[in-house]
């Protein structure tokens, strides 16, 4: 079951769309978009997963040493322009041509998120509305 992630703002370096990949989950095989980045820092991250929902929020955070995102959907504002991708309509070009910049208003359906090292601040975890 995917988690829903929203992030107010995320600054990244080495951001790249790697293509589609089929991965195996407990629910079976699923095709995801694979995004990688060298480093990232963000503000106002919310994560919601499961039934009943478990909501987690973080005021800010950083990830260094590489991060990989497996997403079924991904929407954000990039350089002032909204973008929206799905596995049926993935990026046709790199979302950030230079690989560095700031993404805002991120909303994604995430299957996996892997980081070499991550730090989160001001965490709140609990059941409730997502």
> Which residue ranges make up each domain of the chain?
3-127
Q: How confident is the model at residue 51 (pLDDT cuts 50, 70, 90)?
A: confident
pLDDT at 101: 94
pTM, entire model:
0.89
DSSP state, residue 97: T
More confident residue, 122 or 40: 40
Q: Are 5 and 45 in contact (CB under 8 A)?
A: yes
Among candidate residues 30, 26, 16, the one with its CA nearest the CA of residue 110: 30
Alpha-carbon separation of residue 11 from 44, 59, 89 (angstroms): 12, 15, 24
Q: Distance of CA 30 to CAs 12, 20, 70, 96, 111, Å?
A: 26, 10, 10, 26, 9
Task: List pLDDT tens digits, range 59-107.
Answer: 899 998 889 999 999 999 998 899 999 999 999 999 999 999 999 999 9
pLDDT at 90: 97
10-24, 25-39, 44-58 — which is least confidently predicted?
A: 44-58
- Alpha-carbon distance of 107 to 86, in angstroms, equals 12
Could you tell me what percent of the chain has a pLDDT over 90?
A: 61
């Amino acid at each position: 079951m995917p988690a829903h992630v929203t992030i107010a703002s995320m600054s990244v370096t080495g951001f790249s769309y790697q293509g589609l990949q089929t991965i195996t989950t407990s629910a079976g095989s699923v095709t995801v978009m694979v995004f990688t980045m060298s480093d990232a820092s963000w503000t106002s991250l919310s994560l919601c997963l499961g039934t009943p929902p478990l909501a987690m929020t973080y005021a800010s955070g950083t990830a260094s040493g590489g991060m990989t995102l497996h997403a079924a959907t991904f929407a954000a504002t990039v350089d002032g322009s909204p973008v929206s991708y799905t596995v049926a309509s993935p990026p046709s070009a790199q979302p950030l041509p230079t690989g560095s910049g700031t993404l805002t208003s991120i909303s994604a359906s995430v299957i996996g998120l892997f980081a070499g090292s991550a730090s989160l601040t001001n965490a709140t975890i609990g059941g409730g509305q997502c």
